[in-house]
Structure 1
Amino acid sequence: MEPLSSFIIKTTPERFDAIVVGSGITGGWAAKELTERGLKTLMVERGRPVEHGVGYVGENRDPWTMPNRGKVDAHVADEQYAIQRQCYAFDEHTQQFFNNDRDMPYSTPDGRPFSWIRGNQLGGKSLMWARQSYRWSDLDFEANLKDGHGTDWPIRYADLAPWYSHVERHAGISGSKEGLAVLPDGEFLPPFEFNAVEQAFKQKFDARYAPARMIMGRTANLNRATAAHLEQGRVQCQARSQCARGCSFGAYFSTQSSTLPAALKTGRLRIATNSIVHSVIYDPKTNRATGVRVIDAETMETREYHARVVMLCASTLASTAILLNSTSSTFPNGLANSSGVLGHYLTDHLWAAGADGRVEGFENEYYQGRRPTGAYIPRFRNVVDKHPLFTRGYALAGGAAREGWQAAAAKPGFGKEYKAMIRKPGPWRFGLHGQGEMLPRFENAVSLHPTRKDKWGMPLLHIDASHCDNDHKMREDMADTAANILEYLGVKDVRRTIATAEEYPPGLAIHEMGTARMGRDAKTSVLNGFNQAHDVPNLFVTDGASMASGAWQNPSLTFMALTARASAYAVDEMKAGRI
C-alpha cells in the first residue's frame, strides 16, 4: 500500500460523497463502511497524522531508556497536562497521544470539575483506549422507558444485534459465551485465562451468587488471530501491557490497525489532518448540510470541504461543540437543535468505588506473562429484584495478582537479603471495583462560553456536570457489595474504597455520552434511530453524543455498531435519492 502521506490533502476543489469528522473509533468505522459501499469520502482530523508501526514513539521502550524514566517531567505535567495526567494511561511513553491542556482548554463552573480526556491525532483515542468490549441488551435499551429517566431509545437490541456481529468479526473480540440475558454473547475469539486464584474464586462466586457470574473480561485484543485478521496485517496479542503506546502488531483494535487500512484499500478515502472543524456548512434553501469549515491547526488559515453527507464522529463533546458553533437564522442555537436539547443529558460512568484485600495461600501458584483484561462480574443490581435505594445498575471488575518486585521500592533494606526478598513474589491480592450507570439529566450539559475563546478563535466548551443522589447511592453500594463479596470469598484485610468527587470527578471514566441524543420524538431529541438528525436529513452523529443513556457496560463496541449501521443507512438513503 502507498504511504499514508499520499492520502493526505489540504485544499481541494473536489466535492466528496461524504465527509467524516474525526478519526477515532467511530470515525474509522464510518470511513471503512462508506468507502467499501462506494462513496468518495474525506476524513477530517484536527490532530496530526500518526502512521501505524511508525508513529508509536514509546512502543517497546523500557523506562530506563526514556529521558525521564517513563514519568512526564513534573513541571511540564503541571503546566501543560493538568487534566490529561489524571488518566491511568498517561506517562512519558504515551504523552504524545494526549491533548495539551494549556493549548486546548475548556471551562467548568467553580466547584464542579469535569475531566475531559482527549487525544487529537489520527486514530484519536482508539490508540490508547482500554479495549473492554460488551454488547448492550434490551435491559439497557428499555430502561429509559420503564423507569422514566431520559427519553425512550428508538432502537432495541434486535436492531443492533447483526451490527454487533459485523463489527466484532472485523475488530476481533476475545471472550467467552455465557448465555447471560443481561450481557448478550457475541462473535468471540477464545477468552484470556483466569489465574489460579481467580479460577478458585470464580467457582466459589458462581456457586453462591447465581445467576450472577464471574467471567473473563471481553476485550478487543486478538487472543488468536483469524485468517481475516492476518489479512488485515494483524497478529496475536503479545501480552506486553503496552497497549496505550500503540501496537505495531495490530494485536488490539484501533483505527490504524484495522478500519483505516480497509478504507484506504478501496482507493476512495482522502484525509485532511491538522484541520480543526469550526462548523458545519448549512444551506437553508435545501435544508441540507453541504460541508464543513475548517481552521488549519498550524497556519490558522481557513478552508472549506464539501460533500453530500456529513457524519460527525469527533467524540461526544467535540461533535456537540461543532453543532453548537454551527449557527444560522434557521438554527440560532446550534445546527439541528429545534428541540433545544442539544448539549443536554451528559453522562459518564460511575466508578472509583470498590474493595481489595490480601489472599492467603496459593504460595506455589503464579502466572506467566501479562494479560490485557481481567475478571468481570456483569450487572446484577435491579435485574430481577428492585434495589430500594437506587435505579439502574453496575458491573464489578478486577482480578488477582501477586505482589512483585515493584513493591520493594517502598520497603527498607539493602544488600544480599534485600535482593533475595525482591526475587521472591509477595502475597496474592484480589480486588473488585465498580462501573455503573449515571442517570441522564437535563441539567448535566455543555454550552459554548460566551466570551472565552481558544487559540484558533473558537468559543471554549463549557461543561457543567455533577452527580445526583441516585449516583451517590449506587457508588456506595458498589463499595459495600465488593467488600461483602471479597469477605465471602475469604479475602483478608478487606479494604473498602470510594473516591471523592474531587479525587475522581465526572469525565474521568472517559465514557462521556449524550448531548445530541437519539429518540423517537423530534421535539425531545436531536437524532432518530439511525443517528440521522431529525432536522437536517443528510447530517449524522454516530459517536457517544448520540446516546440516550449510558448503560453500565463500556460503550465503544456499541459506538462501532451504531456507526456501521448508520453508514449503511446513509448510503441506502443516498442511492434512493432521499438525501
Structure 2
Amino acid sequence: MKTPIFDAIVIGSGIAGGWAAKELTERGLRTLLIERGSEISHPRDYKSDFAAPWELQNRGLVPEALAQRDYPVQSKCYAFNEQSRDRFVNDREHPYEQVAPFDWIRGYQTGGRSMMWGRQCYRWSELDFTANYEDGHGTDWPIRYQDLAPWYDHVEAFAGISGNRDGLAQIPDGNFQPPMAMNCVEKAVKARIEKAFPDRRLIIGRAAHLTAPEKIHTDLGRGKCMNRNMCEQARGCSFGAYFSTPAATLPAARRTGRLEMVHDMVVREIIFDRERGRASGVRAVERDTLRPREFQAHLIFLCAGTLPSTQIMLNSVSEAFPNGIGNGSGVLGRYLMDHHMRVSAAGIYPGFEDHYYSGRRPNGIYIPRFRNLGHKRENYLRGFAYQGGGGRAGWRRGASEAGFGVDFKRRLRMPGPWYFYLSGFGEMLPRRENRVWLDPEKRDRWGMPLLHVEARWSENEYRMREDMLASAVEMLEAAGLKNINSSNEEHAPGLTIHEAGTARMGRDPKTSVLNAYNQCHQVPNLFVTDGASLASSPCQNPSLTLMALTARAVAFAVKKFRQGKV
C-alpha cells in the first residue's frame, strides 16, 4: 500500500507535542501524532486515582529491590511510587551513558511527562529573554517578551492557569483562573517577610489547575479541581482539572477529525530530501515487533523531549548533514541546562493552634526572583526563586516522636504544630561543555545509538546556592519560625526535570539550530518546540513557555505552508 502523506507529523505527545497536534489540526492540517509509549485513555486508565493507601499492595511504596534493579534513576524522582511506577521508564530497558552524573527522568506514554509534572506555570519576562545578550553567556534570544506575550495569553486561557495578578515585572501577570487561597500561616509569613524585605514578595503559586472552568474547558469534559492533591503522586486526574495532553489538547485535536495517532512507535530519524532541501518524513520502528516503518509529511514538529529530540536529530545523518540534520553550526547537542534545587529551609510556626484548612491544595506559595534585578549585582549571574508552603503536621510525625500505646496514638489523631518551608530553584548558565552525543557503537533494542550525557554545575551555580540557603534562613527567621533546619543537598543535573537546550534558538545560523519561530535554519519544514529549543533556562518552570512557543511556531508554520514556502 502506498504510504499516505500527511500535512504534518508531530513526534512526541507530551506538553509540546500535544499543543502542536491541537494547533495544527485546529488550523486545518491533517496531522499524524507519533508516540513511542503505550496508550493511556483519559480517565479510564487512571487505575489508582481514587485508591486509599491501605488499598494498595505495598501501601504506595515500591519494593527497594525492584526500584534498584529496574528504576535506579527514575526512583530518585519525588513522584515515583507504587501508583505512578508504570508512568516511568524501566532504566534497564532504556539505557544511556552518564559521562558525568545526569538523572534522566522519563515517561513514555500518551501525554508523556504531562502525566507526571508539577504543574507550576510562570511567564518568563523581558529580563529572561535579554539575559544572554546582557551578560554574554549563551546566544542572544531571537525573540523578546512582547513576541511571546499574546501566545502566553492564548495557552493560559485554554490550559487553565490559576493565579493572582501580582504586578511583578519578573513574572508578568497572565490570563488567570481565580487563585487558590493561602492558609493562615502562609498569610502570616507573607506579611512578616514582606515587611522585613520590601524587595521580596510571597505569592500563591500559579498552577495549571482549573478553579473556575469555562466553556472552553467543560466542552472537553474538564471539571473543577477537587483539592485532593492525588496529582502529586502522578496518578492522573479523572476530573480533568489539571492540564495534561490526554485531558485537554488531545481531545481538542481529535474533535477536529484531522488527527491520527499511533502508539508504540519509536522514531529513529528524520528523512531529508536533498533535492528539495526539505524533510520528507520519518523512519521509525514498532516498539514491540521491531518492524520498520516510514511516514511522510510536509511539516515535521519534533516534540519528543529535550534529549530524545536531539538524539533523533543527531541520528538523522545524510550526505547533506553528516553530523545530524540541521547541524551546520555544530552546536546541536551543546548547551545542556537544568535547574538546580534541594536548597531548603523549614521550621515551626508558633500559634494558630485553633486553625486548620480545608482539603489538600495541589499548589504551594512562590517567592519570585529578587536577586540581580537592578543595578546591584551579587557575586554570581542570574537568579533563583522559591517554592514552598505551610501546613500542620499529621500523624506521620509519630515516626520521629517518642512514645507508644493508646495515649500516643490518641495524640497523633490531633493535628501537630504548624510548619513552613522554602525550597529554592536556581538558573544554570548555558555552557558549551555541557552536552550530549551519540555512542558510535552501542545501540538500544530499537536501533538507536545510546546517548552520552555530560553536564556539570559551574562555580556560578555553587555561589548562587550559598545565597539561596542564607536567604531562605533569614526569611524564616524574620517570619518568626522556630527550630529552623536548613539543607544544601548536592544532586546531579537532570533531577529537577527541567532539562533544556541542545538545539537552541538564535539569530545566527552559525551559532544556533533554530530561528525565532523554532524553525530549523537549514531545514525550513522542521520545527523543534520542546525544551531542546531553549537558549537559556530562567529559574521559572519552563512548561508554560514551551506551550506558548509551540502555539506560536504552529501559527507561523501553517501560514508558510499555505503560502507554499515550507
User: TM-score normalized by structure 2?
Assistant: 0.98
Quick check: 2:196–2:478 contact (8 Å CA) kept in 1?
no
Supply the distance in 2 between the matched residues of 1:325 and 1:252 (Cα, whole angstroms).
Answer: 35
- The correspondence for 1:214, drawn from 190, 202, 209, is 202
Paired residue for 2:242, among 226, 238, 252?
Answer: 252
C-alpha deviation, 1:211, in angstroms: 3.5
Name the aligned partner's letter for residue 414 of structure 2: K
Partner of 1:361: helix, strand, or coil? coil
User: Which residue does the alignment assign to 1:573?
Assistant: 560
Q: Which residue of 2 aligns with 1:61?
A: 51
Q: Distance in 1 between matches of 2:150 and 2:65?
A: 49
354-363 or 309-318, which moves further after superposition? 354-363
Give the 5 Å matches for 1:353-392: 353-392=343-382
* Corresponding residue of 1:562: 549
**Aligned AA (1:149):** H
- Equivalent residue number for residue 306 of structure 1: 296
Match of 1:8 in 2: none
Residue number in structure 2 paired with 1:178: 166
- Separation in 1, partners of 2:433, 2:48: 41
Letter in 1 for 2:365: A
Alignment of 1:265-344 (within 5 A): 265-344=255-334
**Bigger CA drift: 75-84 or 28-37?**
75-84
Query: Is 1:95 equivalent to 2:85 in the alignment?
Result: yes
Structure 2 distance, partners of 1:233, 1:494, is 45
Whether 1:129 aligns to 2:120 is: no
1:381-411 CA distance string (max 9 Å, x none): 0001433310100111111111101112333
Q: What secondary structure sits across from 2:522 in the alignment? A: coil
Tell me what 1:548 maps to: 535
* Structure 1 unaligned residues grouped into runs of 5+: 1-10
Structure 1 residue 526 and structure 2 residue 513: aligned?
yes
Letter in 2 for 1:382: N
538-547 or 484-493, which deviates more: 484-493
User: Could you say what secondary structure the match of 1:451 adopts?
Assistant: strand
Contact (CA 8 Å) 1:511, 1:554: kept in 2 or not?
yes
1:156 aligns with 2:144: yes
2 CA distance for matches of 1:72 and 1:312? 34
**How far apart, CA to CA, are the structure 2 residues paired with 1:115 and 1:170?**
32
Looking at structure 1, the residues matched to 410 and 60 of structure 2 have their Cα atoms a distance apart, in angstroms, of 26
Question: Quick one: distance in 2 between partners of 1:12 and 1:256?
Answer: 30
CA distance in 1, matches of 2:449, 2:149: 39
> Within the alignment, does 1:409 sit opposite 2:396 as a pair?
no
Could you tell me whether the CA contact under 8 Å between 1:354 and 1:480 is conserved in 2? no
Superposed CA offset, 1:506-557 (max 9, x none): 0000000000000000000000000000000000000000000001100000
Question: For each residue in 1:147-172, what CA deviation from the matched residue of structure 2 results, as whole angstroms up to 9, or x when unmatched?
Answer: 00000000000000000000000000
In 2, the alpha carbon distance for the partners of 1:211 and 1:183 equals 14
Q: 1: distance between equivalents of 2:363 and 2:467?
A: 24
Letter in 1 for 2:289: T
The code of the aligned residue for 2:72 comes to A
How far apart, in 2, do the equivalents of 1:392 and 1:490 lie?
29
Partner of 1:514: 501
Find the residue that maps to 2:483 and give its secondary structure.
strand
- Contact kept, 8 Å, 2:137 with 2:431, in 1: the verdict is yes
Q: Match for 1:223 among 193, 199, 211? A: 211
Q: Which letter does structure 1 place at the counterpart of 2:373?
A: V
Assess if the C-alpha contact under 8 Å between 1:145 and 1:152 holds in 2.
Answer: yes
TM-score when normalising by structure 1: 0.96
- Note if contact 2:371-2:378 (Cα within 8 Å) is conserved in structure 1: no
SS at 2:341's partner residue? coil
How far apart in 2 are the matches of 1:547 and 1:22? 17
Q: Distance in 1 between matches of 2:465 and 2:169?
A: 24
Kept in 2, the 8 Å contact 1:480–1:496? The answer is: no
Match of 1:4 in 2: none
Further displaced range: 505-514 or 198-207: 198-207
Query: Where has structure 1 moved over 4 Å in runs of 4 or more?
Result: none
CA drift at 1:228:
1.9
CA-CA distance at 1:192 after TM superposition: 0.7
Matched, 1:198 2:186: yes
Taking the aligned partners of 2:57 and 2:294, their CA distance within structure 1 comes to 41
Tell me the SS of whatever aligns to 1:463: strand
- CA shift, 1:458, in A, is 1.4
Separation (CA, whole Å) in 2 of partners of 1:397 and 1:193: 15
| Secondary structure of 1:357 counterpart | strand
Letter in 1 for 2:3: P
| Alpha-carbon shift at residue 469 of structure 1 (Å) | 0.2
- 1 CA distance for matches of 2:404 and 2:344? 35
Structure 1, residues 461-511: CA drift from partner, whole Å, max 9, x if none?
1100000000111111111100011111111122121002xxx21000000
Contact 2:372–2:378 (8 Å) recurs in 1 = no
CA shift for structure 1 position 12: 7.1
Provide the C-alpha distance between the structure 2 equivalents of 1:227 and 1:388, rounded to a whole number of angstroms: 47
Q: Distance in 2 between matches of 1:505 and 1:114?
A: 5
CA distance in 2 between partners of 1:26 and 1:511 (Å) = 13
Equivalence for 2:482: 492
Instruction: Give the whole-Å Cα distance in 1 for the aligned partners of 2:185 and 2:378.
Output: 33
- Verify the 8 A CA contact 1:515 1:545 in the aligned structure 2: yes
Contact 1:389 1:473 in 2 (8 A): yes
Pairs aligned (count): 564
User: Do 1:221 and 1:252's aligned partners in 2 also have CA atoms closer than 8 Å?
Assistant: yes
Q: C-alpha separation between the residues in 2 aligned to 1:327 and 1:16?
A: 23
Deviation at 1:287, TM superposition (A): 0.9
SS of the residue 1:142 aligns to: helix
Maintained 8 Å contact 2:334/2:433: yes
Q: Hey, what's the Cα distance between the residues in 2 that align with 1:275 and 1:89?
A: 26
Aligned residue type for 1:556: S
Aligned CA-pair RMSD: 1.1
User: Matched residues in 1 for 2:346 and 2:409: separation?
Assistant: 28
Instruction: Choose which of 6, 15, 24 in structure 2 pairs with 1:25.
Output: 15
**Mapped contact 2:435–2:455 kept (Cα < 8 A):** yes
Note if contact 1:400-1:429 (Cα within 8 Å) is conserved in structure 2. yes
